[in-house]
Chains A and B, each alone.
Chain A
């Protein structure tokens, strides 16, 4: 039973990070109807920015070898700033890979490819600057907090609790913003029907940029959190997350905010339940669930019914 609590917390914590990640996809998908394949690269950048801002030094292999920022920000501040930096990168991706195609009303498939190209450029830029080695954010950045808590006999890593806390906080804030603010409502209006939204005086271009910025912020924060709880395993580590995030997104239902959260939690818990003897199969769990759900319920768990053309 004690063991179960540990599994539960671990599963919820990684599930919450998946949810943060998938929410970024969902925001962009709901306004544009396309998947942003550069999202994983923005996540990578969030991880690296967090590492640099807490004063981490660059290894020997990149162009920036030996660089160390002359500041060592507390983790929270670094995480927030890394999120902001990632939001900027996400805006650049929008301007370079999405806007030119949107202006021509090109097929959605094309922006999928061009965003993938943007992702390849970003990931290799990181590799060029910082080398291919892995970095880890030392947990000593969380000064004053114990490494693990003893909850009724279960050892819970503090980092896991923090992950869960931060992710939940962001999810709640995002929902409040989407449901309660003018900006959030306008965003929803654009995703419901861009033409009517424009008639009502909503600047859809600005809303799309807003969706990219928020999505980039969420990805960046998720990157920093994973960097803290596991490590930044080289520039490509966002790609694996990006792929799993895609699974989470479709599992919950494309474009659905509660769906992304539910999908993230299901995948996180399912992965935590994989016995350690079979840990090699962990990465397949999300896709096995996704595959089964798609066959039984093609629109995902909480997705809207698929529109059919008649």
Chain B
């Protein structure tokens, strides 16, 4: 048992999500890429995805998702944590602007950077803010305008990544309550940072005085190696999270929500964990891979559709650049997404 589990912890009190209205179909992508609907569906499980229109930034998505989560919880928040890989600007953080636009006043607000694992890293961070008494209610938003860093000509990533935002409100509560956040299993392997990266635009490239080579400002992913690590890390961390929560194993999960990276990765991980197909939550066919937003969007949509309901034992896991990964297990509370 962690120190937090002995006394007060964070409890999920509300959630919501927002997807930009523009939808790109596989058919649309075939007009500019050498690909086909069948190729994309069979390899990724994706049919459509939402993308931002010109001028829309991550904060615009985050504000909308954040407002819905606050409405769902029926309260305000005294801290805002924003998990994103696509901040509005390199400096400052995007969270303070989001907090201001939500009218939350001079609250604590900062960004968390853990690529597609961002929601779970943010969940652990927000739980710490509450457990320490630093905050009473935290608005945790995970938002990415991921398509803004994707090379539109890269068939490997352009068909997968998409935009969106999801948010939860966490309040102080008791570890035994439904919705209480227990131990979050987190990990990283920076020795493999090059497998998922945007090479240029940071201090390394800027201090070199050398202009970036063509394409280095875009996101890159070494697909085959990432696949292997994603399966290994999500499987192992899910087992650890189930154990840390006192479950017999991952097969105890009534619902399994994994970062919606690629339908084949998800199937392999869930098969390895012994989780039956009807217990796997998925929306990748409709929304693609929305980066950090992936998990909270999945939770909000599943709760709205009734596939995730109060009392379900829920296992969450994610994997992303860093490399980074995480998992946690909880009992789903009685909350209504807005």
Bind each other: no
- Where the two chains meet, the residues of B that have a C-beta atom closer than 8 Å to any C-beta of A are none
Residues of A at the B interface (CB closer than 8 Å) are none
